């Protein structure tokens, strides 16, 4: 009887220690945006949280409306994802938030940005994303067409584990503004836009842009990772406009893998295995009408 009680106590103590050692990933979901089924930041983050719920040693928290009410919660993060509208309204560049994220990144906290969240104005915000993730979308330099890239080859990297070739229609941005010499950056998802894609129309402004046309035939990068000198890691993912795409196993897996990687959690040999049903995709959608 005593032995059984001791075993239970040891198991509970072990579970407590494991929980204390868990890596914390914080997902920041932007405010409601666009029409139904597009820019479903909160629903997408909650799906990612569900998909990572069975990964040992990981604790995932989701905060909506772009930023936690008490930003002190970020101090305990091992990784932070910003999946939100960008541009001048980007949640990370308001007030003193860039300075906060700089302090966290210098401690080795991983930072990821997805879809519109990779776009910030040039200047100090652009420099901040260069530090954190290596590149960013720059208005009228980068472009945002709706197209279906063919992702058929991947680098040997933990983020690509278990990812198989796939094609999927989304607003895949390309022609990012990169750090000089692509310092510390590894392309993850790359494909070659057709001439028609380069000619547009882009989502906004419609284009075409002469400098995009001049690069016909060039392979472009739609997802990348960066290892920073401070020991931290970052990634940028330009897809994520259409919520339905989280139902694609490979689209979802490469982002889930990236979240583990920037949190410095070992990515499983086959990547993060998860299942998302049609019903799952209908949950937690923002109230946008028809």
The predicted structure's pLDDT at residue 12: 41
Residues of the chain with pLDDT under 70: 1-20, 290
Which residue matches tokens 């914390």? 24
The predicted structure's pLDDT at residue 5: 45
The predicted structure's pLDDT at residue 289: 74
Instruction: Tell me if residue 166 falls in helix, strand or coil.
Output: strand
Q: Please name every residue paired with 171 in a beta bridge, in sequence order, or none if there are none.
A: 146
The full set of domain ranges for the chain reads 21-281
Residues 240, 36 contacting (CB under 8 angstroms): no
The predicted structure's pLDDT at residue 1: 46
DSSP string, 176-200: -EEPGGGTTEEEEEEE---HHHHHS
Q: Which CATH number applies to 21-281?
A: 3.40.50.880
Q: Do the strands 58-63 and 23-29 form a parallel or antiparallel pair, or are they unpaired?
A: parallel
CA–chain centroid gap for 237, Å, is 5
Q: What is the pTM of this model?
A: 0.93
Q: Do the strands 79-83 and 23-29 form a parallel or antiparallel pair, or are they unpaired?
A: parallel
DSSP string, 8-38: HHHHHHHHHHHHHTPEEEEEEEPPP-SSTTB
Cis ω on the peptide bond leading into residue 208 (within 30° of 0)?
yes
DSSP-derived letter for residue 158 is G
The predicted structure's pLDDT at residue 20: 57
Which residue matches tokens 């401070």? 230
Q: Please name every residue paired with 242 in a beta bridge, in sequence order, or none if there are none.
A: 38
């Amino acid at each position: 009887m005593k032995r059984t009680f001791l075993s239970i106590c040891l198991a509970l103590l072990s579970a407590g220690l494991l929980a204390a050692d868990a890596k914390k990933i914080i997902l920041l979901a932007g405010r409601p945006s666009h029409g139904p089924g597009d820019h479903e930041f909160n629903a997408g983050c909650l799906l990612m949280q569900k998909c990572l719920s069975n990964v040992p040693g990981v604790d995932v928290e989701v905060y909506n409306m772009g930023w936690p009410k008490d930003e002190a919660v970020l101090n305990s993060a091992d990784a932070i994802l910003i999946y939100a509208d960008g541009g001048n309204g980007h949640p990370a560049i308001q007030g003193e938030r860039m300075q906060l994220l700089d302090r966290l990144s210098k401690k080795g906290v991983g930072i990821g940005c997805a879809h519109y969240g990779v776009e910030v104005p040039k200047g100090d915000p652009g420099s901040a994303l260069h530090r954190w993730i290596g590149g960013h979308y720059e208005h009228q330099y980068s472009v945002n067409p709706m197209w279906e890239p063919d992702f058929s080859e991947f680098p040997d990297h933990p983020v690509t584990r278990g990812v198989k070739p796939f094609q999927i229609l989304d607003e895949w941005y390309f022609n990012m503004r990169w750090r000089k010499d692509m310092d510390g950056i590894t392309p993850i998802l790359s494909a070659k836009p057709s001439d028609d894609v380069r000619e547009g129309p882009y989502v906004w402004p419609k284009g075409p842009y002469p400098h995009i046309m001049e690069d016909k035939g060039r392979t472009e990068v739609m997802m990348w990772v960066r290892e920073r000198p401070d020991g931290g890691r970052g990634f940028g993912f330009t897809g994520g406009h259409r919520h339905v795409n989280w139902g694609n196993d490979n689209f979802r897996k490469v982002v889930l893998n990236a979240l583990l990687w920037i949190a410095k959690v070992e990515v499983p040999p086959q990547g993060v295995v998860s299942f998302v049903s049609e019903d799952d995709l209908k949950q937690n959608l923002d109230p946008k009408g028809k």
